[in-house]
Structure 1
Amino acid sequence: MTLRTTTPVSAEATSTSYVAYWLNSYEAALVFLLVPVALPVGCLLWRSVRKRANGRRRGTAAGWVAAIAAVGCTAYSASTSWRFAADYLDMYNTVERCAFFAMGELAMVASAVMARQNLHGPRQTAGLPAVLVWVLAAVLTIPSYAEHGLVGGTWNAFFGPVMAAAMWRLAIGTEPRHRTPAAKPA
């Protein structure tokens, strides 16, 4: 019978191992992803709830809910891309994985914001950025099918990148407006 003895671990070794764990953890990746996504959403929400010069508020409750849903669907899509980066692309470094999968979701958010800017520009059309949102959503469905198969991939693709694209479009206000000169307001 042998007795197990534990060797004391220095505080430096403990903090180093904790930092190494944190830098390779899923939680760190979510922080790295949600900060760039949450900042533009926060700015848009702040602008929408500010009062105009005439005292009326800009935003609605529907806009808030759509923005929250857009962030949630984007995070759901990012979770699949995170696993895809490790399983299919052999990326195990947290920083490398964040740089890979966060770019797709961040590009979708940036395209939606640019579509809104174009909609309020001189041509008053969302233009190429609006199309790019849907192209990015289509490309971001690939990890869903690779990770989850046909049935799970369809579920994941729909509630991940496809709904993220739809919710960003609704939250930011780039839905198509059908107006005719002869149309009278109801």
Structure 2
Amino acid sequence: MTPRTTTPLSAEATSTSFVAHWLNSSMAALLLLVPVALASVCLLWQSARKRANGRRRGTAAGWLAAIAAVGCTAYSASTSWRFAADYLDMHNTVERCAFFATGELAMVAYAVMARQNLHGPRQAAGLPAVLVWVLAAVLTIPAYAEHGLVGGTWNAFFGPVMAAAMWHLAIGTEPRHRTPAAKPA
């Protein structure tokens, strides 16, 4: 049995393979975040339209919350992307994209469903609002697995936890405490 010899790669071959890998993974991640961005734009557009009385539906705070929600969702997706390769042995770009995008897109979908329920007959966000937070808790697992206790806490907070909070605020599903109208004496 003869020992295997390896020839070192040239600097040009190494940089070419690195760029090709980076383009594949970055482009795939970007393409999967497009639906999240489009959903955000649609929600923002709807909130920016004028009501019948001439007032706008959205505010600058709502716009900023939506932008922050997209950023935190992307931050969470980045951690899930690495987790899929490092812990789940997913090295195929398409498979990893499908994996990491599922959780983040589900969070946005639950937030939109919570808003729909809030404006429905029961006027309560209901189960979808709870599921946003359950999903955020589950999405913290990759952060701790990838980065340990300190880095994981940082990544979990600014990734899935802040994404859930920002989506919650951006689309207006905050808890509303309604009190019965005061009765005249």
Q: Are the aligned partners of 1:38 and 1:71 in contact in 2 as well (CA < 8 Å)?
A: yes
- The CA distance in 2 between the partners of 1:120 and 1:156, in whole Å, is 33
Q: Which moved more, 1:78-87 or 1:24-33?
A: 24-33
What residue in structure 1 maps to residue 27 of structure 2?
Answer: 28
Whole-Å separation in 2 of the counterparts to 1:120 and 1:23:
43
Percentage identity across paired residues of the two chains: 84
Return the letter of the residue paired with 1:63: G
Distance 1:106 1:86 in 2: 19
C-alpha distance after superposition, 1:81-137 (max 9, x if no partner): 000000001111111101001000000000000000000000000000000000100
How far apart are the structure 2 equivalents of 1:35 and 1:152?
27
TM-score normalised to the size of structure 2?
A: 0.85
What pairs with 1:1-186 in structure 2 (closer than 5 Å)?
21=20, 25-182=24-181
Cα pair distance change 1:182/1:33, threshold 3 Å: same
Give unmatched runs, 5+ long, in structure 1.
Answer: 1-16
CA contact (8 A) 1:70 1:168 kept: yes
C-alpha distance after superposition, 1:128-169 (max 9, x if no partner)? 000000010000000000000001000100010000000000
Name the aligned partner's letter for residue 111 of structure 2. A
Give 5+ residue unaligned stretches, structure 2.
1-15
Output the CA distance in 2 between the equivalents of 1:30 and 1:165: 20
RMSD value, Cα: 1.9
How many residues matched?
167
**Equivalents in 2 of 1:46, 1:159: separation in Å?**
26
CA shift for structure 1 position 21: 2.9
Question: Conserved in 2, the CA contact under 8 Å of 1:49 and 1:57?
Answer: yes
